[in-house]
Amino acid sequence: MQAILALVGRPNVGKSTLFNRLTRSRDALVADLPGLTRDRKYGLGRLGERDYLVVDTGGLGEESDEIDTLMGEQTRAAMREATHLLLLIDGRAGVTAGDEMLATELRAMGKPVYLVVNKIDATTPATAMAEAYRLGLGEPLPISAVRGSGLDRLIDTVLPDG
Ligand code: GDP
Ligand code: MG
């Protein structure tokens, strides 16, 4: 089965930066994949022999902390079609009420959920990781989307057997 990784998180946590890192310039290939709506931003990622689709849920509200805005229609649709859910948080900002709402919502989907702590380059990693752990989504995965660090380990964890 084709793995589909949905990137979910509050505005500005770094979803699009991670999307671009994981997919580089492979967007063009995705246009040819059947059965996918053009409404969402898809990209093809590869690590070794592993191919996976990434969905950037960019359609979220940019201002509000309200759950209805966070979980816009596009995000819900992306969550439904995903095989793996990645909740991104901003390691610099700490865990917010919005992150907690998203964690609850994602957990309820009954799919594997991974907690990704981004911007680890701009914070004290140990503190950010300890706080993230409180979200109850297991061991948080530290990355810097901007620097490209932690990404191989992230994919290895999410897609262990290809
Ligand atoms: P999105 O709204 O979740 O898609 O977030 P973006 O990808 O647009 O990133 C929001 C801001 O965070 C931008 O200014 C990025 O450059 C910055 N950003 C993203 N990833 C990182 C990171 O790993 N480290 C740092 N320091 N900044 C980051
Ligand atoms: Mg974005």
CATH of the domain at 100: 3.40.50.300
Ligand 1, CB cutoff 6 Å, lining residues: 9, 11-17, 118-119, 121-122, 144-146
What ipTM describes this predicted complex? 0.99
Q: How far is it, in rounded angstroms, from Cα 90 to Cα 111?
A: 22
Residue nearest to atom 17 of ligand 1 (CA): 14
Domain containing 137: what range? 4-158
Q: Per residue in 63-97, pLDDT tens? A: 455 555 556 777 888 999 999 999 999 999 999 99
Total count of domains within the chain: 1
pTM of the model: 0.90
Q: Which residues are annotated as a binding site for GTP?
A: 9-16, 56-60, 118-121
Q: Per residue in 107-148, pLDDT tens? A: 999 999 999 999 999 999 999 999 999 999 999 999 999 999
